[in-house]
């Protein structure tokens, strides 16, 4: 994992979150999105975090907006190929091209990693 972080409570960073795939894992449906933003300590380099939301069991017609939508995330910076420090639009295009080629099996692997990282954080916290 990258030692650079995307999010900061002290500084505001701008980026984009975009959903790119719905897939099935162990009988449940998941929505995969990518959060793409500049590193807090290097505004000239983009990184990405995959975020997974479980869709199974959600009632899209419910008026109750207080329902918590669980999410699991994992950074994928080390798996990406892009020219860090290069033009931001070129880095963004490179990341998008790689996201479009992620297979469902790879998404399942990333989901597993994300849930394990969340479990580890829950145990520490």
Number of domains in the chain: 1
Domain presence at residue 93: yes
User: What is the rounded average pLDDT for all residues in the chain?
Assistant: 86
The answer, yes or no, to whether residue 119 has pLDDT greater than 90, is no
The sign of the torsion formed by the CA atoms of 76, 93, 23, 32 equals positive
The sign of the torsion formed by the CA atoms of 38, 42, 44, 48 equals negative
Domain presence at residue 7: no
The answer, yes or no, to whether residue 116 has pLDDT greater than 70, is yes
Percent of the chain with pLDDT over 70: 82
Using 50, 70 and 90 to split pLDDT, how confident is the model at 59? confident
What's the pTM value of the predicted model, to 2 decimals? 0.81
| Average pLDDT score over residue span 45-68 | 86
Domain that holds residue 96: 15-124
Domain presence at residue 106: yes
């Amino acid at each position: 994992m990258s030692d650079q972080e995307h999010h900061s409570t002290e500084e505001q960073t701008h980026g984009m979150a975009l959903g790119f795939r719905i897939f099935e894992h162990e009988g449940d449906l998941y929505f995969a999105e990518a959060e793409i933003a500049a590193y807090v300590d290097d505004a000239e380099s983009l990184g990405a975090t995959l975020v997974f939301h479980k869709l199974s069991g959600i009632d899209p017609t419910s008026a109750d907006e207080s329902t918590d939508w669980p999410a699991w995330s994992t950074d994928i910076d080390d798996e990406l190929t892009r020219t860090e420090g290069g033009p931001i639009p070129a880095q963004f295009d490179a990341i998008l091209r790689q996201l479009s080629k992620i297979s469902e099996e790879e998404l399942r692997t990333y989901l597993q990693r994300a849930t394990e990282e969340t479990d580890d954080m829950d145990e520490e916290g």
